[in-house]
Structure 1
Amino acid sequence: MPPASTDANNAIQKLYDVCRASLSEKGPLSPRDSLDNVRAALDMVTPSDVGLEREAGAECASFSIGMFCMPASSIIPLHNHPGMTVLSKVLYGAAHVRSYRWIESAGSSINLSKARPAKVVRDGEMSAPCGAMVLRPEEGGDVHALRAITPCAILHILTPPYSSQDGRHCSYFRRRPRSHPSGVLLNRTGGSEFVWLEEYQPRHNFIIRRDLYTGPALKL
């Protein structure tokens, strides 16, 4: 792989520096301004800036920066980002994103330990070139799945990052039949789709590989 150019180094370093200044171990320092600054820096990153052929990542206590390179038709299954803000940008190619928001069931006698109702908040395509997508925990959408329509690369920032010791571990979910054992039927109402999601353990051979960052060096 040829050495990264000075411009590429500057673009990635600027993104990292903006993240350092805007994100804390609890997420964005300012819900709007901080995210706007990070998104603006992320929007300036191009495929040539990262110069990657595979996944990559850089991480600290406040955020992580990573990339997924996905073959056509490959899938990142439905998973969550508990209490985390997610910024994603498709650098090349196209991907389909489907995300959900949990529906509160106050006063309900339904046991939600294994299944919970959720509402679709995003169901569409992201194609490069495009701006960054932001998923905020207070707005929903922190449970989502990605499917590569074409070969694609997605650069993403998580703040704060996954941390099992802080209760932010990745869980996977699947849809239950529309008719739930409780007798409640949730379907399309008023243009919104409601579904039941249950947590499950993927097969033992399921893995999403995370390699070392091989792009421009960062000044930590």
Structure 2
Amino acid sequence: MPRDEMNSLIQKIARQARLTFRGVGGGPEGHKSFSENVGQLRKLVGEIRAEDLKIRPRKNGQAPISVPHNPPVTYMHICETDCFSMGVFLLKGGTCIPLHDHPGMHGMLKVLYGKVRISGFDKVVDAPAPAGPKEPQFQPPLLPYQRAALRRAVLRSAGEFSDSSAPCLLSPHRDNLHQISAVDGPAAFLDILAPPYDPDDGRDCHYYKLLQPAPSSSSSPAEPAGRPEGDGPHQADASGLHSREVWLLEIPQPDDFWCGGEPYPGPKVTI
């Protein structure tokens, strides 16, 4: 590898990601060395810019001609190991990555260009959906087979982020479900997931639909006002954003969402 690539910022990020997430597993967020390593990784990721990866903003949000079918979202793969994966997502203007989860995974996201809106949710564990008279009524009503796919969750955070924002974090238990929407044009972000998705190891991606209870229900969710500043979704609570219980329905991957692939043009990364 050429010396300039060995010392590139993205190579340093990959080395720190491997050090941070090697052997992590489920989530010792409180462990001192893990927290320190996350802090160092976050510092490095916060310095990355689109030009460091030889990525240029696309004014019209279109994928290159080499990408077939013009998907709403494309992915540039950078590297993957057993303990983490890293790549860049590019969103066309007006598109979004639907609400989805990251089972047992940590994540870090840094906007490279454009602006995105991120809504983060936490699952309410060990709290089955109520049945009978206490079950919330939705509009339209749920079909019988859908009741088993109903999930309780908490709307934990919501905000808009640009290339000047600090990296956003998720953990196995915090902001683990999120939706990412491009705002006012195309956007791109660096994405690190640890460990990577692996259906054979119980880490498959599931999609969800936010349900709105009928007006007669007392559990109607409310969209929070305001937006967090600086450190991403985790600052939302400190900024006065109150958690709201919501209802989610697990659904198949939406028909209008698919992710294409395109070559990564930046410095080579070796792990």
TM-score, reference length from structure 1: 0.85
- Preserved contact between residue 128 and residue 152 of structure 2 (Cα < 8 Å): no
1:190-205 to 2 correspondences below 5 Å: 191-203=242-254
Q: Which segments of 5 or more consecutive residues in structure 1 lack a partner in the other structure?
A: none
C-alpha deviation, 1:23, in angstroms: 1.3
C-alpha deviation, 1:117, in angstroms: 1.4
Q: 1:107 to 1:142 in 2, by over 3 A?
A: closer
- Preserved contact between residue 209 and residue 248 of structure 2 (Cα < 8 Å): yes
CA distance, structure 1, for counterparts of residue 114 and residue 3 of structure 2: 23
Bigger shift: residues 99-108 or 61-70 = 99-108
C-alpha deviation, 1:171, in angstroms: 0.7
C-alpha deviation, 1:153, in angstroms: 1.1
CA-to-aligned-CA distance 1:183-210 (integer Å, 9 cap, x gap): 7634349943322101111345641123
Matching residue of 1:73: 94
Q: Does 1:96 pair with 2:117?
A: yes
C-alpha deviation, 1:6, in angstroms: 3.1
Matching residue of 2:193: 158
CA distance, structure 1, for counterparts of residue 119 and residue 3 of structure 2: 35
Spell out structure 1 runs of 4+ moving beyond 6 A. Answer: none
Bigger shift: residues 107-116 or 82-91 = 107-116
C-alpha deviation, 1:79, in angstroms: 0.5
- Preserved contact between residue 65 and residue 158 of structure 1 (Cα < 8 Å): yes
Matching residue of 1:177: 212
SS state at 1:197 partner: strand
CA distance, structure 1, for counterparts of residue 4 and residue 26 of structure 2: 30
Matching residue of 1:134: 169
- Preserved contact between residue 119 and residue 195 of structure 1 (Cα < 8 Å): yes
Look at both structures and tell me which one has the larger radius of gyration over its CA atoms. 2
C-alpha deviation, 1:40, in angstroms: 1.3
Q: Percent same amino acid among aligned pairs?
A: 28
Query: How large is the RMSD of aligned CA atoms in angstroms?
Result: 2.9
Matching residue of 1:19: 17
**Structure 1: which amino acid aligns with 2:40?**
N
- Preserved contact between residue 28 and residue 159 of structure 1 (Cα < 8 Å): no
C-alpha deviation, 1:83, in angstroms: 0.8
CA distance, structure 2, for counterparts of residue 132 and residue 41 of structure 1: 10
1:28-43 to 2 correspondences below 5 Å: 30-43=33-46
**Structure 2: which amino acid aligns with 1:201?**
P
Q: Which segments of 5 or more consecutive residues in structure 2 lack a partner in the other structure?
A: 57-73, 136-146, 225-240
SS state at 2:15 partner: helix
For these two proteins, the number of residue pairs brought into alignment is 215
